[in-house]
Structure 1
Amino acid sequence: MDDVWLGYDPRDVDSIVEYAGQLRGKTLREVTNIGEIADPHRRRGAFGSALEEHYFKIDPNSRPTADFDGVGLELKATPLKVNKSGELVAKERLVLSMINFMTVVDESFETSHLMKKASNILLVSYLYEPGKSPLNYVIEAVVRWGFPEDDLPQIRRDWECIVNKVRDGHAEDISGGDTLYLEACTKAKDSTVRTRQPFSDVQAKPRAWALKASYMTAVQRKIIDGLVRIPRAEDEKDLDVLALIRKRFAPFVGMTETALATHFGVSGSKDRCARITRKILKVEGDSDIEEFAKAGIVPKTIRLRKSGRPKEAMSFPAFDYFDLMERSFDESDFNGYLCQKYLFVLYREDDLGEYRLSDVCFWQMPEDDFDDARACYEQMRDNVRIGRADISVRSSENRCCHVRPHARNSEDTRPQPFGPPVVKKCFWLNQGYLQSEIERVLRS
């Protein structure tokens, strides 16, 4: 499908996941233009179909390739329900793909069709509520997911149990009771449908690979409750979040990025400073930090020159030119980014050109500055309306913000409504503005 109307880059997995993340806490009615679904309660998969067609703009299909074929990412929607104890549990199994009895016998587990389908999933979990339209189901979680490594031995064993029955000519005897995590569930219009198997003349019920509801309940609990807290000593229990963070960072102030990376055993990479931050906070793994999630805090590393001026302007994700033209500033992603609270982890340049950890602070754009941000947004919006998305907003034209490219190269473009494709761009906070805001916050 032409990606003119997409809010994400289908060739960039991070762009897809970021776009999908905007679904959390919302309904399809809130994020799409669809009014109703025909006979929603008579159609299994009505929510998933609407999600594909109207949010991600994916044509309905049953092809064996991934939904986001350019990056090998599979989209799966799975319902949750509230049980009698008031807990969120999986409403049903998660169906992954049909089993082809004629070819599965020649596969190995590691290279199987199942593993290709299940190794890279965008999992969208929503709360099913009887009597409600699927358009009004609240989306509880959105994660990129694959089989956890610790579960692979059992999943492999389940796969082999099922496939060996097919190899023995007994696909008709497959039962859900044979396995623990993975199952071969029946998948047909009705119970009378049968299909061929390779080593027997007896026809068997069509089946699909699926993860059992009990397994999915465990997965969902880990996803939804998978936040990790910053550990606290006895004398830290009464500290507010910033005080706790300052206490964590204090012993390391003055150390260079290189020294910190060596101290914590963090290898060199684009996200090195982000991983150092988690190490300083004593947060293990990649789970979201509970304190940050509750407060909507986004950590951001800022490198300051000796003068205090940031080495770089602060960028936001690249915008879509169609989306920019159609949405007001108040409804825009840019406004949403500016409303967030940021934890600035500050590294300052020394006399030798090394960057040393110097301080931490919380920052959120003051209300008085939103008029400048709005003016930048509207100026760029006007450029798009006249077919001149190639013209940006310079930092000299706005006190707070500007627009410039944010792309891999000059060929990394996006379409615009009234002109030829233009290189990807995003909004940036000006270096001078950032410097004054950081100084203001540190003074206070």
Structure 2
Amino acid sequence: MSEQKFAYDVSSPKSIENHAKKLENKSFREALDGLVIREKGNKGGLGQLLEKSHFGYEINSNAEPDFEEAGVELKTTPYIYRSKNRPVAKERLVLNIIDYMTLPHEKFENSSFWKKNQTLLLIFYLHQAKDVIPNRLDYQITHAQLFQFPEKDLKIIKADWEKIVEKVRQGKAHELSEGDTNYLGACTKGANKYSHRPQPYSDEYAMQRAFSLKTSYMTTVLNHYILPGKKTYHESILEENDLGEDTLESFILKKFNRFSGMSVDTIMSEVGEEVESKPKHFTARVASKMLNLDDRLEKTEEFRKANIKVKNITVSKKGKVKESMSFPAFKYKELIKEEWDSSTLREMFLNTRFLFVVFRYNEHNELFFEKALFWNIPHNDLEIEVREVWDETINRIKDGECRNLPTASENPVAHVRPHAQNKQDTYETPQGDHVVKKSFWLNNKYIEQQIGL
């Protein structure tokens, strides 16, 4: 390789970016210029291969940014196209490993996280199915661009970082979950599920974790800052300086709480909305108008970035939640191939934040807004109770008992029941039968406990 290939100013972010842009519209095979061919069997990450071949520096695990003089960290990350030709990030962006022993003594402004990730050089490539492109070296690199966190995102990321730090200070590093936070997560990062580290305020070892930007956040980065002509702007809850001293959660809850105790009719009158009828999803409309939005909450910029799912809960005048809470239907033949630690259900609970918006009927059958609260499933409820239901479901499917899956009376937290349009809406079982689609549900009595009834 010629020295000219590495001709860029290592102290200049712009020079580094310009050098990275030479990779655009090339496959990894072309970009690596024979490096992998000469080192057959190299299973390193695609980003690591680029570091050596295109930028000319050896792979390392330094605490400093990859380009230390310029303060630039290189990250290579894939995206895919989903339905309606919609580009989305394929996965979270993993940043630096969390050192539980030193983290509690850091301040954000001089933290290892901030030193390493203030300025990111994002190299995006298009990931495609194996039947389209069998070899990963033939994936196309499409964009290379410097990225710094927008100011209003940075406030939320800092609050996320502080929440992770506080959990470590409480001796609960083993209970960290990506559902704890909004944009910045603490994802598991190790050779396998047995990769554990000591933590300073507990004798219990914790899974090795790294700071990461959530998949939902990276999808927004991709669409708003990287892909030309693909901007999909949504309503925003925040203006640039709205948060002040608030976190995203406290800001949203303040907006809701000013309506506590009001009837939905009074709320809609206050926000200037006429109520001619109350369709099935009327409470979702009320929740949006309380935050002065025209569209559903989940379509806002902040909710999309944080992967916050809204669940509107209605409580009867007797103080009971009538409906259990459903999740997407599973396919019998695919479910039994999963392992708990990487299962779709566990990943969904770990990576999703929920906003419960609670309405209640009074003795006159009038519907009132009671409260809103953020929720993610407690560690033991997930790892003990939900797992028990998941394991039992797997066993019964394998035994040909798809019509007899765990019910709400068998577990205090979750159960399985039909989730289909009609009796003809089915999935094939491992035994070749066609059984109505089903999904996991949270028990209505469990939801009552979680919202404090």
SS where residue 433 of structure 2 aligns?
strand
Aligned partners of 1:273 and 1:23: how far apart in 2?
33
Counterpart of 1:372 in structure 2 is 385
Q: Deviations over 1:35-82 (max 9, x none)?
A: 9726964xxxx77xxxxxxxxxxxxxxxxxxxxxxxxxxxxxxx7412
Matched, 1:405 2:415: no
User: Which residue of 335, 346, 369 maps to 1:357?
Assistant: 369
Partner of 2:323: 312
Q: Please show how residues 42-441 of structure 1 align to structure 2 within 5 Å.
A: 80-82=142-144, 141=219, 217-220=227-230, 222-223=231-232, 226=233, 228-231=235-238, 237-261=244-268, 263-265=272-274, 268-285=278-295, 288-339=299-350, 340-370=352-382, 371-439=384-452
Cα 1:407–1:385 change in 2 (3 A) is same
Change (3 A) 1:387 1:258: farther
Q: Deviations over 1:247-299 (max 9, x none)?
A: 21233223334554564347744443223222211234568434334443222
Q: How many residues align?
A: 265
Deviations 1:228-249 (Å, cap 9, x if unpaired)? Answer: 4323697862222232223212
> 1:432–1:21: structure 2 CA closer, same or farther, 3 Å change rule?
farther
Cα distance in 2 for residues equivalent to 1:386 and 1:376: 15
| TM-fit CA distance, 1:312 | 0.5
Pair 1:231–1:264, CA change in 2 (3 A): farther
* Cα distance in 2 for residues equivalent to 1:141 and 1:284: 22
Matched, 1:37 2:48: no
- Which is higher, the Rg of structure 1 or of structure 2? 1
Amino acid at match of 1:333: T
Q: How well do the aligned residues superpose, as a CA RMSD in angstroms?
A: 4.0
Change (3 A) 1:34 1:243: same
Describe the SS at the equivalent of 1:219: coil
TM-score, L = length of structure 2:
0.50
Shift of 1:348: 1.0
The 1:331/1:235 distance shift into structure 2, 3 A limit, reads closer
Query: Cα distance 1:232–1:20, how it changes in 2: closer, same or farther (>3 A)?
Result: closer
CA displacement at 1:390 relative to structure 2: 1.3
Shift of 1:407: 0.9
Q: CA deviation at 1:32?
A: 6.5
Task: Measure how far apart 1:16 and its partner are.
Answer: 6.1
AA at the equivalent of 2:331: D
Distance 1:228 1:24 in 2: 24
Counterparts of 2:357 and 2:422, CA distance in 1: 29
Q: Tell me by how many angstroms 1:418 deviates.
A: 1.0
Partner of 2:75: none
What code does the residue aligned with 2:367 have? Y
2:451 and 2:311 map into 1 onto residues whose CA distance is: 13
Find the residue that maps to 1:426 and give its secondary structure: strand
Alignment-derived partner of residue 109 in structure 1: none
SS at structure 1 position matched to 2:287: helix
Q: Which amino acid letter does the alignment assign opposite residue 230 of structure 1?
A: I
Q: CA deviation at 1:416?
A: 1.1
**Deviation by residue 1:115-135 (Cα, 9 ceiling, x = unmatched):** xxxxxxxxxxxxxxxxxxxxx
Paired AA for residue 441 in structure 2: W
Kindly state the Cα deviation for residue 332 of structure 1 after the two structures are TM-superposed. Answer: 1.9
Deviations 1:371-421 (A, max 9, x none): 110010111111111222111211010110000001111111111111411
Do the aligned partners of residues 29 and 246 (structure 1) sit closer, same or farther apart at CA in structure 2, a change above 3 Å counting? closer
Shift of 1:365: 0.8
Residue aligned with 1:274, SS:
helix
Percent identity, aligned pairs only, is 28
**Alignment partners' CA distance in 1, 2:127 and 2:338:** 14
Q: Would the alpha carbon gap of residues 349 and 377 (structure 1) be closer, same or farther in structure 2, given more than 3 Å must change?
A: same
- Is the 2:126–2:142 contact (alpha carbons within 8 Å) kept by the matching residues of 1? no
Aligned mates of 2:401, 2:391 — CA distance in 1: 13
Contact 1:273 1:301 survives alignment (8 Å): yes
Name the aligned partner's letter for residue 395 of structure 1. Answer: A
CA contact (8 A) 1:388 1:419 kept: no
Unaligned runs of 5+ in 2: 1-81, 94-123, 149-214
Match of 1:71 in 2: none
Q: Which runs of 5+ in 1 are unaligned?
A: 1-14, 48-78, 88-137, 146-215
Kindly state the Cα deviation for residue 343 of structure 1 after the two structures are TM-superposed: 0.8
CA contact (8 A) 1:387 1:419 kept: no
User: Is the CA contact 2:87–2:219 (under 8 Å) kept in the aligned structure 1?
Assistant: no
TM-score, length of structure 1 as denominator length: 0.51
Q: Report the AA paired with residue 273 of structure 2.
A: F
- 1:358 Cα offset (Å): 0.4
Q: Give the Cα separation in 1 of the matches to 2:371 and 2:380.
A: 25
Q: CA deviation at 1:303?
A: 0.8
Cα displacement (A) at 1:20: 9.2
